[in-house]
Amino acid sequence: MTRFNIMIVATSSTLLVACSDPTLTRTTGSIDVAAARAGYDQAGAHRQYGTPVKVGNGTVRTYVVLDQKNAGTPLEVGVAMSQDALDGLPAPVASSDPMANMHMNLLDLPAQNPTPYKFVQFDWNPAGHEPEGVYTFPHFDFHFYTVSKDVRASIVPSDPQYAAKAASFPAPEFRAPFYIDASTAAGGAPPAAVTVPQMGLHWLDVRSPELQKLAGHPERYQQFTTTFIYGSWNGQFIFDEPMITRAYILSKRDATDPAVRDEVIPVSTAPHYAPAGFYPSAYRITYDAQAKEYRIALTGLTWKE
């Protein structure tokens, strides 16, 4: 089974209908971007790092930013990639095994972590993955999981309840606007057929620019650089996933506009969350010249239930 299997097909009527409104943009909702940036380095904000893991020529580690002036409230949870980590990465290989071109690390979060996230699955995809021409660009996946590693590991087709758990969708009040599940995007395929083992069922924002050719709107198409995905399993959402090309992350280092170097992108959010906790209103892609590291983070954390 491939990374997305038959996640999207050009004949998906649901995708076509959902993208028919020309006023739609990639994200919905709002966030005070200036406030989010302030939360990144404001006085009293303290960044705690997790254990580094060697990636490429450098290291990757998680972090949490806490507001020490407000009882340690979390402001941001993310992944920091040292400057050299984007070099010396595994190159794509010719293989019939689709997993041969996905390089995975499970990253522990810092010990002091008041967010609902348990760990981060960090993936390097040197050849990208299907659909062809949509996500077939070298990119990273950052899965922020709200379930344990054991639950993630249990998502396997050998589970007698695999099909039932894959088809058990979160209730509507827990779904973000404009997101559809992979089985719907694939024209009504069985959820188990498009659920990625040891990962979950992906949910896509139908307004994402890279999907517009498949949606019948080539004039709105933009080549994939960054997108935001949700993942579900057994009746609940279990991960939030920024997915970003290597080239786009690297571009932050040489950006001269502060708003480009430190980009904050609002995400579509649900009316309710389970479990209750601090969840993002946006995600951040930035480069810190002083620390010589790139950071990909869930930011604008606010209490939601």
Q: Are 50 and 59 in contact (CB under 8 A)?
A: no
Percent of the chain with pLDDT over 90: 77
CA–CA gap between residue 147 and residue 157 (Å, rounded)? 18
**Domain range annotation of the chain:** 13-304
- In tens, the pLDDT along 255-281 reads 999 999 999 999 999 999 999 999 999
- 184 Cα distance to chain centroid: 20
CA–CA gap between residue 20 and residue 83 (Å, rounded)? 41
- In tens, the pLDDT along 82-105 reads 999 999 999 999 887 878 889 999
CA–CA gap between residue 77 and residue 144 (Å, rounded)? 9
Mean per-residue pLDDT of the chain: 89
Please tell me the predicted confidence (pLDDT) of residue 117. 98
- In tens, the pLDDT along 221-251 reads 999 999 999 999 999 999 999 999 999 999 9
Please tell me the predicted confidence (pLDDT) of residue 8. 45
Please tell me the predicted confidence (pLDDT) of residue 230. 98
pTM: 0.91
Q: What value, to the nearest 5°, has the Cα angle with vertex 117 and ends 103 and 88?
A: 25
- In tens, the pLDDT along 172-209 reads 999 999 999 999 988 899 999 999 999 999 999 999 99
